[in-house]
Amino acid sequence: MLQFILKRLGLAILVAITVSFISFSLLFLSGDPAAALAGETASGEDIEALRRLYGFDRPMLVQYFDWLASALRGDFGESYYFKLPVAGLIFDRLEVTMLLGVCGISFALLVAVPLGVAAAMRPNSIIDRLALFMSVAGQALPSFWFGLILIVVFAIKLGWLPPSGTTSWQNFVMPTIVLGYYAMPAIMRLTRAGMLEVLNSDYIRTARAKGASEVRVMFKHALRNAIIPVVSLAAVQMGFMLGGSIVVESIFALHGAGYLAWESIARNDLPTVQALILIFSMFYIVFTFLADVLNAWLDPRMRSS
């Protein structure tokens, strides 16, 4: 197991280095950064001056290591737009996004996994149909529309929850539901399909032949095997929620990192975009690593491969 973790960790670090290089070179892929910085009316001399000031005249590899060293110290440079350190800008907003992501995925898992198990236990029953309906509805319902409906009902009509802001935990209830709801259909379908397949397998029959109760058969023998693909999916969904919660963040006016990324792209604020891409990619890598470790713990066959 330890060997497996170390191997995966090494792999994750390699991927992280590659990704960091790619996000660094984004600055250059989008044209001459000095020219972009100087604006359209700048003279050639101004651009040259900026080039020297920001160090764009040095060899690229030198610039990369310089940038990486700063990034590792938590220094991502200064935002072109806000004229403030990028790190401070991001970390404020990352907190909101992280909280939202963790709540969203937990909510999705807590609803979708039991629902998928229940649906698999009784295929074609009422509960299975309900689950199918929810997943179809979930896929068909756009997040912004669902979010607005929630705001109308729970914030405006009933007045139970605040419609926007980040001041208390209540602000996070509706965004969590909207974000989680988006991830639920896939998790539910995958759990159901996995359970149906596992329940047909010979070792489930063996467990029953031993005299194990249905609950034990479901949760000890079946779920552990059926949940493995769900873990990988949840890791991807979680990464997606961090970067892709822009819609939800804007509906509920939660100024998170997703929203910042959106704004910064529009403003050509390259250091901020670069830092956000790097950070989101690192989260992806961390989640994938954690999912691999969790799966290896769930399925011993993965450890040896």
Reference 94, options 289, 260, 267; nearest CA is 260
Token pair 């802001």 is found at: 165
User: What mask of x and - would describe binding to other proteins in positions 86 to 115, judged by CB under 8 A?
Assistant: ------------------------------
**Nearer CB in complex with other proteins: 58/205:** 205
Are 30 and 299 within 8 A, CB to CB? Answer: no
Closer residue to other proteins in complex, CB, 50/226 = 226
Q: Which of 221, 230, 242, 261: binder of other proteins (CB under 8 A)?
A: 221
SS3 string, 120-168, reads HHCCCCHHHHHHHHHHHHHHHCCHHHHHHHHHHHHHHHCCCCCCCCCCC
Per CB under 8 A, contacts with other proteins among 185-214 are: 201-203, 205-214
CA angle 84, 89, 92 (to 5 degrees): 150
8 vs 303 by CB, closer to other proteins: 303
Q: Which is nearer to other proteins, 8 or 216 (CB)?
A: 216
Nearer to other proteins, 216 or 255 (CB): 216
Encoded amino acid at 125, one letter? S
Residue range at the interface with other proteins (CB under 8 A); choices 132-140, 164-172, 261-269, 297-305: 297-305
Per the listing, tokens 């044209």 go with 31
Check residue 215 for interaction with other proteins (CB under 8 A): no
Tokens of 239: 């990464």
Residue 219 is a binding residue for other proteins (CB under 8 A): no
Please tell me the count of residues contacting other proteins according to CB under 8 A.
21
Given the rule CB under 8 A, which of 103-111, 138-146, 162-170, 221-229 is the region that contacts other proteins? Answer: 221-229
Could you tell me which stretch among 1-9, 100-108, 238-246, 292-300 binds other proteins (CB under 8 A)?
Answer: 292-300
In the bound state with other proteins, the residue whose beta carbon lies nearer, of 27 and 199, is 199
Q: Residue 128 Cβ, how far from other proteins at the closest point, in Å?
A: 15
Measured from the CB atom, the residue of 63 and 295 that comes closer to other proteins is 295
Alpha carbon distance 257, 263 (integer Å): 10
Q: In terms of DSSP H, where are the helices of the chain?
A: 2-29, 33-38, 44-54, 60-72, 86-121, 126-140, 143-150, 173-199, 202-209, 214-216, 223-226, 228-244, 246-251, 257-266, 270-298, 300-304
Q: How far is CA 208 from CA 71, 172, 192, 224, 238, in A?
A: 55, 43, 20, 16, 36
Residues that bind other proteins (CB under 8 A): 201-203, 205-214, 221, 224-225, 298-301, 304
